Amino acid sequence: MKTTILKTFVIAVCVSLLFSACKKTETTQQIDNELITTVGLQFVDASTASATIVRWEDLDGDGGDNPIIGFLTLDANTTYNFSFSEITNASKSPAESILEEIEEKATEHLFYYETGTSDFVFHDFNLDSNNAPLGTTASVTTKVTSSGTLTVTLRHMPVNKSATDLNTIGGSTDIQIGIPYKIQ
Amino acid sequence: MFLKQGFWLVFWLFFTTISVGQNCKLKISGVVFDALNGQHLSDAVVNIYPVKQSGISDMEGHFHFVDICPNRYILECHLLGYESFSSTIELNKNKFIEIGLHLQPTHLKTVVVSANKTQKQILQPSQTLSQVELQKLSGKMLGDLLSGMEGMSVLQTGPSIFKPMLHGMYGNRIAIVSNGAKQEGQQWGVDHAPEIDPFSAEGITVIRGASSLLYGSEAIGGVVLLNPYQFDFVQHTNKTMVGTTFGYNGRLFQPSFQTVQYINSAWALRMNANGKYSGDVKTPSYYLNNTGTREWNGSAQMIYHTPIMDLENTYSSFNSVLGIFKGAEVGNITDLQTRIKQGNPLSTSSFEYGINRPYQEVHHQKWVSQAIIRKNGEWKINYTFQNNLRQEYDVIRNSGSNAPQMQLVLQTQHLDMQWKHPKFSAFSGTMGIQNQYQDNTWAGVYLIPDYQTFGTGLFAVEQYEWSKKTNIEAGLRYDYKWMQASMFEQPKKSLGARIYPTFLYNAISGNLGMGTWLSNYTKLVFNIGKAWRPPSMYELFANGVHAGTASIERGDKNLKVESGWNTNLDIRHQTNWLSFNATFFYHYITNYIYVVPSKELELTVRGAFPVYEYQQTDAHYFGADFYTKMYLHKDVWVDGYYNLVRAYEVHSRQHLALIPADRARANLVFEPIENHELSFGASYTYKQTRVSDDSDFAPIPPAYALLNAGYWGSFCIKKYELKLGLSIQNLLNTKYRDYLNRFRYYSDEMGRNISVRLFFIF
């Protein structure tokens, strides 16, 4: 009887060790880290069709090197068609398009643009399938000359898509970048 | 008419006989000591026949039995190395007995209790929670359960993550030992709770003093010991317990099972299993969305026992899934400040059991093999293997993915050997060697590198009986530790050359202690020692956003070893009706490692994050724990606790962050019927005034008071026992926040919670 008990015990232990070993291999697969390294903003002049692209890029993610931030120059008294030239994770090869994922999950995302002045406004955002704003494309109207910082914020799982201030919009911030600009 | 009177007379006589017989509230208490030198003896087994009650004398040799009927009994006491003691006692009122045991002249006879696996430095102040006290707290996580003990507080990350804190120290500064083996998980993380099921232990002892001698470098603040079950082959009582705990707040359900089976005179087995299923927790005003938990744990302990040898194997498995409050998902510093100003979650929902991302999943498997040989003293060898898997599942766009965003696997092996030499003249002691090998791998978001460590510790502790009343203990330990990380020069990008930073540490630690009985009831203990702690991999190599704190932490690979002098003074007075205990402690730590705001803001794609850096300084930690218990009446007692901790940098005299505020607690307990008690308690936590509002992201929360009440009763039906507990915490549904809970930035603490506990023992 002693040996039977010992045997059962040893077998039980081996089985449980095996079980824990299995669990480990299953999870060493691909792990998603969803890093965004590069954001490109494209402004196309509605009348002349000339395009201006400005980029924000931080290839190594948090820490390490500082991000490389472009400078945006736009003409006064002009209307532009705004869109993103890219939102990618360029740390992977080939670079992974995050913009595609955002557009696929349009109801779970909202872009917010702050310029600090009513002379540089983003309006007429594109909509998601619930007719709520998304903002991956918009119209931009500039008036008099000015300068400042354009802050582009992407909120994931916003609480209130019809709100006009970031706090009420809620959700978690996936992008918040500041691009210095000049309207001339 | 005569018949009627007669009937009432008989009835009345019968009734009074029964009620006299029911006055079973007498107490037997006493002390076990060595008849020759008067030293108080711990771990002596004391039995009362024919009541079949059994107890074990505590560290001061004290034991007590309650609820005994007046009668004549045989009291029997035995302890390894001593001759058994037996005496008849006549009990008609509470009795205090002094049992003097005589040493056995020849070598060991039949061993009656398998040797004590919990190695205690005998002279450090400590407190133990018994099995019954653990049952009264079932359903709580380990850190939460421990927070009521002397010297303890708790560092929280929301309602499901509790990190035990002893004298203001936590994480890598206190060791948690379960079943004789030090628990190895990612202790450096503030939001990493210890992966231990309190039910796997028979009792929990907290040692409030540096215990590096026996437990290694991470016990600089103290140790939490989860005491394993002690098999008793003399009584060999098979016992099974089936229980369940229900908690209203969070709709918690925890079924549990435990059994001890003596298969024959040499083999015995203990098994336990439990699970936890809970959903969203509620503050006084709203539910905290996604704060459910799941847990499934089990252990099996098997022993082969002979008079000369014990062979024991234990396997335990701890598994948990913890939902992280959705409202604590904060991005950058601006988001955090806006959220703090708002004070409460932006959106709340109704109760749900479901756990969605973000959540943590932790699995911990532990295997311990131990051999004890009782010849020429006592030899002990043990081998432990632990596997710790920790995963973080964040909110992601790709809803098809089942993978975590961060994963750490830590495997640790221990091989320890020690020898408790036979007592010669007044000297007793132990010496040993402890070896550890560890391997860590990471995947996903970088927090710490892959690494391996190897450590060896050689120690010797001797106790000398200076006199009948005074013991002196001295110990010395030498540690060698080698750590090597394997990482890219730019670890997060996996770019650059592969580098292997290597660290080598040598340290000597030691302790000198003295314990003296000032009277039969008062003991004074004094300790002074030196301890050390190597920096953790996180303190050396952290480089990234610290989850949920909207800050970036940066390690420093040039950090040196922490080393410190520590001293404590403990006074304990215990009589039948009054207990009083005061512990005063002081640590001076050179090269104390801590994290400091750098005034730098780092720009990331998610916005600006303040940067915190790991630095070293010299620090003082000091404080006191007070405890008192008084019997106002034989069925009524009151107890009180007061804890205080002060910690600050030596040169700037600035107080350190994350130090608990002072706390006072009191309980009033009534036992109107035997085995049934009603308790009422109150606690008051002061505001932490030693940290300025502008050194933290949010204003420091104000002081708060909490009330609680409970009932605990035991019903005996033939050989079966049913234990029933009802407890109400935060009775008045008080709205409050605690400085040591990181989620105070986002929400209030849990509101009222009513728990029901049922245990059926047969």
Asked whether the beta carbons of B338 and A161 are under 8 A apart, the reply is: no
Provide the 8-state DSSP code for B700: P
Residue B418: pLDDT band by 50, 70, 90 thresholds?
A: very high
Q: Is pLDDT above 50 for B578? A: yes
Average pLDDT on B468-473 reads: 88
Q: Choose the closest CB to A9 out of B302, B347, B409.
A: B302
Best-predicted range by mean pLDDT among A86-95, B24-33, B55-64, B178-187? B178-187
* Average pLDDT of span B275-301: 96
**pLDDT band of B118, cuts 50, 70, 90:** very low
Please state the rounded mean pLDDT for residues B297-314: 94
CA distance B294 to B319: 8
Q: Answer yes or no: do A33 and B602 touch at CB < 8 A.
A: no
Residue B465 has a pLDDT of: 87
**Interchain CB distance below 8 Å, A63 and B363:** no
Candidates B331, B387, B445; nearest CB to A176:
B331
pLDDT in tens, A54-87: 999 988 777 677 899 999 999 999 999 999 999 9
Q: Is residue B115 predicted with pLDDT exceeding 60?
A: no
Q: What integer pLDDT is reported at residue B13 of this predicted model? A: 46
Predicted local distance difference test score (pLDDT) of residue B753: 97
| Chain A contact for B263 (CB, 8 A cutoff) | yes
CB contact under 8 A, B404 and A62: no
**Sorting pLDDT into bands at 50, 70 and 90, what band is A27?**
very low
ipTM value of the model? 0.83
Closest to B117 (Cα-Cα) out of B14, B225, B13, B237: B225
Q: How far does the CA of residue A51 sit from the closest CA of chain B (Å)?
A: 24
Cβ contacts below 8 Å, chain A against chain B, sum to: 151
pLDDT at A29 over 60: no
Band (B494; pLDDT cuts 50, 70, 90): low
- Among the listed ranges B253-257, B330-334, B626-630, which one has the minimum average pLDDT value? B330-334
pLDDT above 50 (res B111): no
Tell me the chain B residues in contact with residue A66 when contact means C-beta distances shorter than 8 Å.
Answer: 603
- Residues pairing with B751 in the sheet: none
For residue A25, pLDDT over 70 is answered with no
Residue A12 pLDDT > 70, yes or no?
no
pLDDT (0 to 100) of residue B16: 40
> pLDDT over 90 for what percent of chain B?
59
pLDDT at position B52 = 66
Does the pLDDT value for residue B462 go beyond 90? yes
Q: What is the pLDDT of residue B104?
A: 58
Helix (H), strand (E), coil (C) string for B613-682: EEEEEEEEEEEEEEEEEEEEECCEEEEEEEEEEEEEECCCCCECCCCCCCEEEEEEEEEEECCEEEEEEE
In this predicted structure, the answer to whether residue A6 has a pLDDT above a threshold of 90 is: no
Which of B331, B398, B492 is opposite residue A32, by nearest beta carbon? B398
Between these two residues, B459 and B13, which has the higher pLDDT value?
A: B459
Confidence tier at B716 by pLDDT (50, 70, 90): confident
* Subunit contact A60:B490, Cβ cutoff 8 A: yes
Q: How far is B611 from chain A (nearest CA, A)?
A: 10
User: What average pLDDT score do residues B370-394 get?
Assistant: 94
As a whole number of angstroms, the distance between CA B462 and CA B476 comes to 9
Answer yes or no: do B609 and A62 touch at CB < 8 A: yes
All residues of chain B having their beta carbon less than 8 Å from the beta carbon of residue A67 are 603-605
State the Cα torsion B721-B722-B728-B729 to the nearest 10°. Answer: 50
Cβ contact B315–A13 (<8 Å): yes
Higher pLDDT, B48 or B254: B254
**B5 confidence band (pLDDT: 50, 70, 90):** low
Cα–Cα distance, B91 to A121 (Å, whole number): 92
DSSP state of B528: E
State the smallest CA–CA distance between residue A120 and chain B in angstroms: 22
- Would you place residue B110 in the very low, low, confident or very high pLDDT band (cuts 50, 70, 90)? very low
Facing A5 at nearest CB: one of B263, B608, B609: B263
Q: What is the pLDDT of residue B37?
A: 62
Side-chain half-sphere CA neighbours of B712 within 13 A: 13
DSSP codes, A115-152: -SSTTEEEES--B-TTS-B--SEEEEEE-S-EEEEEEE
Q: Can you give the pLDDT at residue A16?
A: 46
- Please give, rounded to a whole number of angstroms, the shortest distance from the CA of A131 to a CA of chain B: 20
Is the pLDDT assigned to residue B103 strictly greater than 90? no
Q: Using 50, 70 and 90 to split pLDDT, how confident is the model at A20?
A: very low
For all residues of chain B together, what is the average pLDDT? Answer: 88
Per-residue confidence (pLDDT) for residue B584, from 0 to 100:
97
Residues of B in Cβ contact (< 8 Å) with A5:
263, 267, 269, 302
Average pLDDT, integer, range A103-112:
94
Selecting from B342, B347, B552 the residue whose C-beta is nearest the C-beta of A62 gives B552
For B236-251, the pLDDT digits (tens) are: 889 999 999 999 999 9
pTM, full prediction: 0.83
